Structure formats: C-alpha cells, structure tokens
Amino acid sequence: MTVPADIAPELAALRDSIDNIDAALIHMLAERFKCTQRVGEFKAEHGLPPADPAREQRQIARLRSLAENAKLDPEFAEKFLNFIVKEVIRHHEEIKRRERG
C-alpha cells in the first residue's frame, strides 16, 4: 500500500503510538503473569485447586464494567480475560503437577 506523502507522517505517528501501547501491553501482561505464577505456587503449596470459578466470574463482571466505562466493547474484554484466565489455569495446573513431583 502506498500512502500519499502528505498524510504519511500522521499515519506513521499513529502507528508509533500503537507500537508503544503494544509494548506496554506486553510488559503489563508479563507483570500479571509473574503475579499469577506466585498465586499458582501458593495454591500448590496449600493444596488449593488451580481454578477459582467464583473469582473468575467476579473478575469478568469487574472487567466488563471497566470496559464499558472506558468505551471498550465488554464482549471483547470478556473474551480477552477468558483467554488470559485459561492460560493462567494451565500454568497453575503445571505448577501443581511439579509440586506433586
């Protein structure tokens, strides 16, 4: 795609902003997974199940509300959280297996 020269700088600036936001998202997700890793270790040490459906439902409701307030599609926000939670549970199950040895 060829972008006309008179609008190319604006498009580049917008894309730079997107790239910066993507980088921030990755770093935030990495920090989130560090925290959930510690939760998984705690659960394994104390014999707690990897999943907590009640907490997950509260988080979904909370995230949907945050999404609505931020003018983001709540359905998208829920799908995003479900994807993350599924991965977190998978990690917690792996930690539990390792703890059992």
Q: What residue ranges do the domains of the chain occupy?
A: 8-100
pLDDT tens digits, the chain, 101 residues: what are they? 888 888 999 999 999 999 999 999 999 999 999 999 999 999 999 999 999 999 999 999 999 999 999 999 999 999 999 999 999 999 999 999 998 87
Kindly write down the DSSP assignment for every residue of 18-73, as one continuous string.
HHHHHHHHHHHHHHHHHHHHHHHHHHHHTT--S--HHHHHHHHHHHHHHHHHTT--
This prediction has a pTM of 0.83
In the CATH scheme, what is the code of domain 8-100? Answer: 1.20.59.10
